Chains A and B, each alone.
Chain A
């Protein structure tokens, strides 16, 4: 894991002092509320429906045990004993007091954490594949370049007052687990087809929200050394030419859409050609310095399969089901990556209590080289676990309600906080997720359905990524009543696709039935072993629409 050097350490401390001073200037009237707002947002402080919300950056989703314990402490001391992991791999506290925020920031700085640029019209926390450094299909661990970009984008003198927020995601693998095509900039680490040199493929203009768009590749191969200069060129074109007349048209995706990918590329390349690369780019030694913190841990030499695991599975069917569901293959023999589901039936997706955080931190320390990941699907991961240790881990997880076996299944639902917390929301999300997970609570049923991603947003801003859910649910408000629009066929992977609307909106209580109908159509249409999304792509929307129409007519 990356560790701060003296410069990083001084920077976050100075940043805390700066925020303390900004709060003081707001309180004495030097700054108006309008002037203070972007300053607090750039420190992760939102004004929500009932209280302030503080969003803490978990850069590229990597945490140490010490950091997670500190989050547990903050949750207890300054919130209500729990936190909420978000779809951008961050952690939110929903009930802190504004006057406590500087003290919380100090506690975060003590463990090399911060809230910098987790909100506001600036470059946000950089996200990455949560199986970085673990995945078998990886060309290179994306986290060193994430950290380089985190530093470069922090308090940027030119790009801190952009037309709108700006999100960057990076993957180093073939299979996209970071939803890079739904980001303002998506970066894929690639190998040059001829030279074999490692570089970057850059996409621009993806995004969800009210105008969902899939990112367009603007550079097929960017040499590694040129990264910061190229990013500067993209940001300068956007900062100067992105729309500022309408907040809903201000993201870079709209600029790319309006002038066309070709013209956008031309402008970026023209700017890039004018830049003096050597005066902007980081030295290769700097990237190497960062990369040295991400060298693989000291794995033991183990057999591919664990006899202890096989024996424990044979003796305990519940454990066997969890093992069969929540593990991801590791590149090192005898190891595995364990996903700890934060989606138990009937609770809010992504929430974790301070007690749960401490337990997971202990497990990471004992069994996973002191390392954890937060996934954009709002789960936690122990990335480097010996298969021999799985039974001990599972036994520890069961008593605190963290042994839910549903990774990638129908109850592993992504949901934004929705109208229960969020000032922007038009409908509730969490109760819908709870109702669906209750409906499909039966473990065997879930396993029989197989991989199926449901994603729920409580408003058109799409924090729950509903556009790219296999089944997407968007909560709207119609004449004072919550109404849920269902989409089908979205895909968040390298085959990124925006889901299509099935029919008219439904009342909240009809949503579980609608999901049931969709699943039945799948079950009757699927070929042997065919995943839900593949069936949808093969048979199209027609049979689903027909089944949906019956239900919508009944509900109307």
Chain B
């Protein structure tokens, strides 16, 4: 397993637990089915994260979001793009913890994932063996500016054009 964020490889501080028993694991990553039960066992200072399937509706997760430090969305295949929309919906619901895409994504999706609200990519061995951390790094900002507004990325083209317009109006007045 390789864990990446926009700066490169990072250490995974999270432990996947069996069932709802989170004991005294400092950062426990649990399955969605056992989340309500796991949350009843949280001790002070302990953090809980959840791994969710990409078919889950955000409304089912929403009641728990404020108590979670990490949400990992499973990507069963890189071509299954539901996770992008789910991430966007989870951010809109106010989640400001770590959002992780977990599955065989490819570097060409890194920018998209970051723009939709993900912080981390958790790659299986088989993908990480072929696709170096360097390739993932190089994929960031390959398209330096894009056209969509309302996503988490630096300066989109529509906003740049707006700024240019305002500047030219300012210059005239």
Chain A positions within 8 Å of B, measured between CB atoms, are 5, 7-8, 10-11, 14-15, 17-18, 21-22, 25, 29-32, 35, 38-39, 121, 151-152, 154-162, 228, 232, 236, 239-240, 244, 274, 276, 279-283, 285-286, 289
Contacts and interface: CB of A to CB of B under 8 A. Distances in A.
A25 B82 contact: no
For the complex of A and B, list the 7 residue pairs with the smallest distance between their C-beta atoms, beginning with the closest.
A161-B81, A157-B115, A157-B112, A151-B147, A280-B150, A7-B157, A239-B85
A38 B79 contact: yes
B135 interface: yes
Interface in B109-128: 109, 111-113, 115-116
B150 A11 contact: no
Interface stretch (B2-10, B39-47, B138-146): B138-146
B16 interface: no
A281 B131 CA distance: 36
A14 B144 CA distance: 8
Contact of A240 (B82, B116, B131, B144): B82
A289 B168 CA distance: 14
A276 B145 CA distance: 22
Interface of B: 78-82, 84-86, 88-89, 92, 106, 108-109, 111-113, 115-116, 130-132, 135, 138, 142-151, 153, 157-158, 160-162, 165
B79 A161 contact: yes
Contacts of A281: 149
A212 B153 CA distance: 39
Contact of A29 (B82, B106, B130, B142): B130
Contacts of A121: 79
Among A8, A240, A276: residue with most chain B CB under 10 A: A240
B143 A39 contact: no
A224 to B, nearest CB: 16
Contact of B86 (A232, A240, A274): A240
Given A22-B108, A157-B112, A239-B84, A279 B146 contact: no
B146 A11 contact: yes
Contact of B165 (A157, A274, A285): A285
B84 A157 contact: yes
Contact of A31 (B80, B106, B115, B138): B106
Contacts, number: 114
Nearest to A37: B79
Nearest to A15: B143
Given A35-B78, A161-B79, A276 B143 contact: no
Nearest to B76: A244
Contact of A21 (B84, B85, B142, B150): B142
Contact of A156 (B89, B130, B138, B148): B148
Contacts of A282: 149, 158
Contact of A18 (B84, B142, B147, B161): B142
A154 B78 CA distance: 19
A158 B112 contact: yes
13 contacts: A11-B157, A14-B143, A18-B143, A29-B130, A30-B131, A39-B106, A158-B81, A158-B85, A159-B81, A161-B78, A161-B84, A240-B82, A274-B92
Nearest to B82: A240
B112 A151 contact: no
Given A158-B88, A244-B82, A281-B149, 18 more contacts: A7-B157, A11-B157, A14-B143, A22-B108, A29-B130, A30-B132, A38-B79, A39-B108, A155-B143, A155-B146, A157-B84, A157-B113, A158-B151, A160-B112, A239-B82, A240-B86, A279-B149, A285-B162
Contacts of B165: 283, 285, 289
Given A157-B84, A240-B82, A286-B162, A279 B150 contact: yes
Contacts of B80: 161, 244
B167 to A, nearest CB: 13
A246 B142 CA distance: 33
B75 to A, nearest CB: 9
Nearest to A279: B150
A280 B135 CA distance: 31
Contact of B161 (A7, A22, A32, A155): A7
Among B115, B116, B145, B158: residue with most chain A CB under 10 A: B158
Contacts of B150: 232, 276, 279-280
B151 A283 contact: no
Contacts of B162: 283, 285-286
Contacts of A155: 143, 146-147
Contact of B130 (A30, A152, A232, A236): A30
Contacts of B113: 157
A267 B153 CA distance: 27
A240 B81 CA distance: 8
A423 to B, nearest CB: 19
A8 B145 CA distance: 9
Among B80, B85, B131: residue with most chain A CB under 10 A: B85
A10 B157 CA distance: 11
Contacts of A240: 82, 85-86, 89
Contacts of A39: 106, 108
B46 to A, nearest CB: 32
A234 to B, nearest CB: 12
A29 B85 CA distance: 30
Nearest to A281: B149
Contact of A283 (B89, B145, B158): B158
Contacts of A14: 142-144
A157 B111 contact: yes
Contacts of B88: 158, 236
Contacts of A160: 81, 112
B116 to A, nearest CB: 5
A35 B146 CA distance: 23
Contacts of B149: 228, 279-282
A42 to B, nearest CB: 9
Contact of B157 (A32, A151, A158): A151
A11 B81 contact: no
A276 B116 CA distance: 15
Among B111, B157, B162: residue with most chain A CB under 10 A: B157
B79 to A, nearest CB: 6
Contacts of A283: 158, 162, 165
Nearest to A152: B147
B145 A10 contact: yes
A32 B108 contact: no
Contacts of B92: 274
A158 B84 contact: yes
Contact of B116 (A157, A274, A289): A157
